[in-house]
Amino acid sequence: MANNKFYGYTPKKDERITDWESKSRVGNQLDRVNPYEFRKGMDYELTAMGCSRLAESTIEEREKATESVLKNLESHDGYYTSLITYEVTYRNIQGSKPSFTSWLKEQDEFKMKEVDQKYNNDKMTEPKVKSQEVSTKADIKMKALKESISKMVNKVLTEQEDIDMDDDKADKAASKGAKKIKGNRFDLERDAINDLLYRGKKGKESEFTKDEPAPESILAKKDELLQTYKTKFKGKDGGADEYSALLQKANDKFKKALEKHVKTFSDKGNSVTLNDVFGSSLPETIKALGSRLTTIDKEEKEDLLVKTNERYEIAKTDMTREQHIKLLEICRKNGVNLREGAMGIKMYYEIAKEAYLEGLSNGLKL
């Protein structure tokens, strides 16, 4: 009867030393091979002997099949999967075809290799350049790309350094940074909202915070009315209604300033309406202004993405076929497999192209 547990595993001589000192031996070679591959091999070998089912095979047939399978799997872990693939591939091929042994060796060239190792069947060649002028132009642009990326990396590293600056240098750096963002409509609206909420007329130079807001600011008015409620209306009949009326009245006083805010920044291109910054009561207005600050961040990211895409589209018009080939060459030098059908080529190429377009956009001052 067949050994169903090991799918017909019947070796002639199966001894494996488990303890070199006591020379103890145990019989099981099956743990050295892939059990699924072994099962596939047994099916193949028994079928070749004329046994359509494992249960119909004799002990001698299973013994012979087991030895053949173990021997073949020692030479190649996926021997029978490769053998079946080979037979299906060349089933209806007329004329000459490679032997299974030579075909199996070729399959090793499809495995992943170290970056510094080359594939024997790699047909990639150096790009052909039509003229020295085209080559020079491509080299200049590639050099500009490398310099641009180098500057960006150095800038990030510099910003991450922990530099001890005295007060004068810190003030100069802060002033310089403030000038750089002067034209940013999103930053300007953020500053305007914070001025209304707690900073007051002095703006960024103000020493006031959310916990200690400037007099006449929205948060200061809210705190003032809350203190009034505690001293005059708390526990009094109708006190809550009187407190709500005071909040409504104070809220209406800020409506004109918020209408001016909406007009100013909608003219600059920001998507802001009165409903985005003004509520039915003072607490609702404060809540709306907080939500607006979050919305500004989203609008800024979307605007930056649109502008970046526009810059890249313009830069693409200046890319030639030679630059595309050079980008593929960069990918290949860094270990990306460029053979037809290889996975991930497009992803790595798009990364290289985006880096190139960023450098090209900066070089063209777009």
Residue pLDDT, tens place only, 138-186: 567 667 767 777 777 676 666 655 554 555 555 555 555 544 445 588 8
Q: Tell me, what DSSP letter sits at residue 129? A: P
- Predicted local distance difference test score (pLDDT) of residue 226: 87
**Which one-letter amino acid corresponds to residue 229?**
Y
Lowest model confidence (mean pLDDT) among 11-15, 58-62, 198-202, 279-283 = 11-15
Dist CA 359 CA 216 (whole Å): 49
The pair of structure tokens assigned to 146 is 């490398």
For the chain, the average pLDDT equals 76
Dist CA 225 CA 155 (whole Å): 48
- Predicted local distance difference test score (pLDDT) of residue 285: 92
* pLDDT for residue 354 is more than 50: yes
What is the Cα 64 distance to its own chain's centre? 53
The pair of structure tokens assigned to 344 is 């991930």
Angle at which helix 185-194 crosses helix 255-267, to 10 degrees, equals 170
- 257: number of Cβ within 10 Å: 14
- 90: number of Cβ within 10 Å: 13
- Predicted local distance difference test score (pLDDT) of residue 178: 47
The most confident of 49-63, 100-114, 151-165, 180-194, by mean pLDDT: 49-63
What is the Cα 245 distance to its own chain's centre? 52
**Confidence bin at 330 (pLDDT 50/70/90):** confident
Percent of the chain's residues with pLDDT above 90? 8
11: buried, middle or exposed (CB in 10 Å: 19+, 13-18, 0-12)?
A: middle
Q: Which residues contact 25 (CB under 8 A, 6 or more apart)?
A: 15, 16, 17, 18
**Confidence bin at 24 (pLDDT 50/70/90):** very low
**Which one-letter amino acid corresponds to residue 64?**
K
The pair of structure tokens assigned to 19 is 């303890």
